[in-house]
Amino acid sequence: MSLFSGKKILLLGFILVLLGAIPVTLYLLQRQQEIRSSAAPLTVVSFKPDSTLASPIQKNVGDKADMDIMMDPGKNIITVVKLYIKYDPKKLAVIQNGFVPNSAVVTALEGPTYNSGSVYALLSVIVSSSQGADPTKVIQSATKLGTISFNAIEATDAPTEISYTPQTQARSSAAGDPYTENSIKNTIPAYIKIGGVVPTPTIQPSITATPSATNQSPVCTSFALDREASGTAPLSITFTASGNDPDSTINKATFNFGDGPVQDVTQAGGIGTNNVSVQIAHTFNNSGTFNTSAVLTDDKGAVSDIATCSKTITISGGSATGGTTRPAATATPTTVVTTPQAPGPGDIILGAGAFGIAATIIGALVFLAL
């Protein structure tokens, strides 16, 4: 009997094909992982109506200028937006309650806070209803976040600019987008050319800037934990936010634990003075990664930078939350939404590779048995 019969040759060829498929499978899997890790900021924030330095919006002294705040997320999936808008207070003034969030899409977690020449607001996409958390409530297409209204108060030789500062940020829950990274790729300013028409007595009054132009914002100098920033649920952690205000008193410390509720502390810890050290305990009952922070507010409404006092907490065990922040059904709106992901091509390729290896082993055993 021939050592290599027709059946053995056919089976040997089949085994060689499978052996060739294994490195191809591993290569494709590596490529898929590279694609998944290449997530990038794609979100663009702008104003409507559109304007440029060469083609500005035309207004006269005393006119009202309404600007819609627009966000186009690209392929990002936005759940939280922090807005810092600046303008020239010698040319423009924000009217009373001049920033109005789009209540059908977002809710204000902090602010709006009005300073001379700037407006701040921290917005969360609405993710809760009477039935509990709704992961479909995210920004995935061009959306109006709200409207800000100005009064033109002085004529300009050149267009005056309304823009977003580098502190403006957005957080994405899309697969491959690290939640701790800013998803904003670009911000587009607006330009207004103001003519010198004398205002009539019926114009809407502008607000008196609060705090004044000389007021300095409080500074959150440290955000300490009484234990490691990771553990098994339920995990109780005591947070300590310390800071100072060079020219005012601090009357509130706001803690965001990343798993739903936001809590204000208005007493103890030096509240009411210009130096504070505020402690608060919180228990994490669910597993996941939670972005916690503290913000200090002074008696003139100025707030500290949220980026200076923040920590990432990692909890294992307990009830899984998909690795991101999500409240229970009775909690207030969360600031993180996880969009369920269907099995990706990498899972399919990995399964195909495992099948190829198993088939190769079985084929070799059959070949030796013939």
Per-residue pLDDT of the chain (370 residues; tens, 9 = 90+): 455 566 667 667 777 766 666 676 666 666 655 544 445 888 999 999 999 999 999 999 999 999 999 999 988 888 888 888 999 998 999 987 788 998 888 888 787 888 878 777 666 665 433 434 455 578 888 999 999 999 998 999 999 999 999 889 888 877 777 767 888 989 999 999 999 754 455 555 555 544 445 778 899 999 999 999 899 999 999 999 999 998 889 999 999 998 877 889 998 888 989 999 999 999 988 888 888 999 999 988 889 988 889 999 998 986 544 333 334 333 334 333 344 444 555 555 555 556 656 666 666 665 555 5
Rg, the chain, Cα only:
28
What pLDDT shows up at residue 70? Answer: 94
pTM for the full model? 0.45
Q: Which residues of 91-130 are buried (b: 16+ CB within 10 A; e: fewer)?
A: bbbbbeebbebbeebbebbbbbbbbbbbbbbbbbbbbbee
Asked whether 23 and 356 are in contact (CB, 8 A), the reply is no
Residue partners of 92: CB distance under 8 A and separation at least 6:
65, 150, 151, 152, 153, 160, 162, 192
Domains of the chain, by residue range, sit at 6-37+346-369, 40-210, 215-331
> Which CATH number, 2.60.40.680, 3.40.50.150, 2.30.30.280, 3.40.50.300, labels domain 40-210?
2.60.40.680
**Which pLDDT value is given to residue 154?**
92
Cα dist from 92 to 148, 157, 162, 165, 228, whole Å: 12, 14, 9, 17, 48
Q: Give the pLDDT confidence score for residue 183 in this predicted structure.
A: 87
Residue 369 backbone dihedrals phi, psi, to 5 degrees: -75, -25
Question: What is the topology classification, in CATH, of domain 215-331?
Answer: Immunoglobulin-like (2.60.40)
